[in-house]
A and B are shown apart, each in its own frame.
Chain A
């Protein structure tokens, strides 16, 4: 057990250093002086540029900058952006918005995706089945900003039933549209998985037995088949959470949600090295820690992998 933990933690450390360094180096390599670009086309006095460059240590070599940054990181300091705002505080504010968005999308994928899959299986090879197949796949093919903007125009402008943008209305109202847009892209896979799983299960012995005992078809499908069939699809959905976070990043821009994606996008545009690395580091940490926790949970649950 100790060996498993030790191995995983070592992996975590290597990935952490590798990824933060690569990202830092990439931001460092971006062409152009971020300070000069701060004011757009307007001039900044040369003395102002020099002072700001010194303040943010922009003239130091890459390794010096990187290790100074790491040093700060280990004391819990994520650095500041070029407006002097602490990056750590910005990430703390943005992170919940992204997480709520991703989990809302996830919930919609589960309910709608499983539902569509079940219907498709029960009505297999009819026009209903084919319609579900075609529409979910077509939806996947449309670019996300087209779907997003169309949804805004329909629900927000034409019908005025949901907010166009922003998180002012709070959860769930403000998150329905953006979450639905993200969920749309997972529906095809989830519903197909569910469909084939339901079809498999319908042919199982236990279904025949249940029917033979006199249970109604509705009860057999609604209770036994649904529950057993959902496992593969739910499994897929769980691994899909990472993708959902990624999708959230794009959708946040369209729906003006102040999450991680918005923050990251703005930071890359203005060459805010500390912010980009800070956000990426925070994301990486979350994924690494989650996966270690999951593995440990496995080890605790399953004696077979508690090998030495």
Chain B
């Protein structure tokens, strides 16, 4: 720079100040009325139910599912009058009469069929398309090569205004559970949606307890208000303000200050939440998610089952739970969470119990371990302490040189699984969207289940046992069937089950009660102080 610094600097300042006069800080004063709940969350990606992947709370407040769940995981009908089948393959769904979308359009069988077809249609590339994959005709809309020749699934048939049938590719007794709230790919959309899908993504018109009276703008909070003509049980609050936070620790402080009401508790705060908020305002909800450690099973070194079992028995799950999760998680003793209907608790047996001597004996049977064991996890996700703890325990209890190694981020972690380049035992987690063991077992241990990448494990026996369990005519039979699947998978021990998740929430003083199903708070039934 060829000019004297002071003068130059003053000139920059002048220019900057001129800039200031041209712009004003945003912000408006709107005193939230006392029965508007303020939900501290993240920024949505989409609000269209077939597209959202991180906006569950937002979308579930604007839409109502066909089938509802209670706190015990039992189903009851909500938007549907009945969901019935003779053979568990062809299901007849009858809707309740009198339901309307927020724009007054009646909710009909066609609203569902059109929305499901649109969501499933490959070229639309809607993110929740996979939820509909077991309907006959899904593959026609998603051919392996080229463009689909039809835009409707042949398995969906409208019978009359309030009735339609769904044909599945095979018998599946768990189908009604798949129609519950978190599988947002199964929500209906009104005809008005298709006129302008971009506008709809900003301000979806749903059939749920709350309606969007204002559109969502990037990085700004917005408020949904109770829908006067809602045909389901009236919400207990007048509305919900969804406020996005970039940093969930900031959100935590804001809830502590009483500026927001409900927040998903960040892992980093699990050990201090009860001290900060008191027992009454920390909710630990049993959830359908599980944590496990996966292995590069394509690598000969990791095909040694004794080695995998040694690692499992060398991990003191209780101690880690106390130290990192403040005791809020539960050590795993089966492949599924206790939140799942019929979870065969304890089926993992001694393999999931901490026993240093047994672990060392197993390691000896396995022929020891040479070299450094690199335990891989996605960086930037708050998992550092957990994986340091795993590595420490394997180091101390098995004498293996174990190190915890983060990837740059999620995308790199995924890529290492896709490319089979992951360096060793790795992070694993499955958050099921409906409380059936089917979701977890199918996703993690079958090739077509969606998360085959996560474990790299499949087996013909598992496929057969799982199909048999799905085809059960009664729920009790299906529980036995899934237990048989678990027993077989555990006999090959492809993953180390570590924890059953709880989804934890903290609330402000205003919240007297936070009802929940399957790990998700039911915001429409929340009880606020006057």
Which residues in A have some Cβ–Cβ distance to B below 8 Å?
A: 30-34, 36-45, 47-48, 51-52, 55, 83-85, 89-90, 93-97, 99-100, 103, 149, 152-153, 156-157, 160, 163-171, 174-175, 231-232, 234-239, 241, 252-256, 258, 262-263, 265-266, 269-271, 290-291, 293-295, 297-298, 301-302, 305
Contacts and interface: CB of A to CB of B under 8 A. Distances in A.
A238 B12 contact: yes
Contacts of B412: 30-32
B245 A168 contact: no
Given A39-B127, A160-B257, A291-B12, A100 B25 contact: yes
B23 A238 contact: no
B250 A256 contact: yes
B20 A99 contact: yes
Contacts of B450: 42-43
B492 interface: no
A42 to B, nearest CB: 7
Interface string B1-36: 011111111111111110110011111110000000
Please name the 5 residue pairs, one residue from A and one from B, whose CB atoms are nearest each other, closest first. Answer: A32-B411, A170-B27, A43-B450, A238-B9, A171-B25
Question: Looking at chain B, what size class is its interface with the partner chain?
Answer: 35 or more
B346 to A, nearest CB: 26
Given A36-B411, A171-B25, 16 more contacts: A32-B410, A32-B412, A40-B54, A48-B122, A85-B218, A97-B25, A99-B19, A149-B253, A170-B26, A171-B24, A234-B10, A235-B5, A239-B5, A239-B12, A297-B15, A298-B3
Contacts of A45: 122, 129-130, 133, 142
Interface secondary structure of A, over-half rule: helix
Contacts of A39: 53, 127
Contact of A253 (B3, B23, B246): B246
B20 A293 contact: no
B45 A83 contact: yes
Contact of B408 (A31, A51, A90, A254): A31
A298 to B, nearest CB: 5
Given A37-B410, A38-B127, A235-B9, A167 B27 contact: yes
Contacts of A295: 3, 8
Contact of A167 (B25, B218, B246, B411): B25
Contacts of B53: 38-40, 42
Contacts of A47: 122, 125, 129, 142-144
Contact of A166 (B23, B127, B243): B243
B454 interface: yes
A305 B3 contact: yes
A83 B125 CA distance: 12
9 contacts: A30-B412, A38-B127, A42-B53, A42-B431, A47-B144, A152-B253, A156-B253, A164-B259, A266-B43
A166 B451 contact: no
B250 A32 contact: no
A175 B25 contact: yes
Given A33-B411, A90-B218, A241-B16, A51 B25 contact: no
Contacts of A168: 27-28, 221
Contacts of A95: 23
A30 B409 CA distance: 10
Contacts of A239: 5, 8-9, 12
A162 to B, nearest CB: 10
Contacts of A43: 130, 443, 450-451
Interface stretch (B57-65, B80-88, B167-175, B413-421): B413-421
A155 to B, nearest CB: 9
Interface centre among A43, A44, A160 (most CB of B within 10 A): A43
A271 B414 CA distance: 13
B409 A32 contact: yes
Nearest to A104: B25
B230 interface: no
Contacts of B443: 43
A31 B217 CA distance: 31
Contact of A32 (B43, B130, B380, B415): B415
Nearest to B13: A238
B514 to A, nearest CB: 21
Nearest to B28: A170
Nearest to B18: A293
Contacts of B17: 103
A170 B411 contact: no
Interface string B122-147: 11111101100100000000111000
B66 interface: no
B220 interface: yes
A227 to B, nearest CB: 14
B23 A34 contact: no
Contacts of B429: 41
Given A32-B413, A48-B127, A237 B27 contact: no
B328 interface: no
A8 B127 CA distance: 48
B254 interface: yes
Nearest to A41: B429
Nearest to A110: B13
Contacts of B12: 238-239, 241, 290-291, 294
A170 B246 contact: no
Interface string B281-305: 0000000000000000000000000
Contacts of B198: 84
A149 B15 CA distance: 33
Contacts of A231: 6
B153 to A, nearest CB: 14
Given A170-B27, A266-B43, A37 B20 contact: no
Contacts of B247: 253-254, 256
Interface centre among B17, B53, B250, B251 (most CB of A within 10 A): B250
Contacts of A169: 27, 29
Nearest to B449: A43
Contacts of B217: 93
B345 interface: no
A97 B2 CA distance: 33
Contacts of A85: 218
Nearest to B417: A36
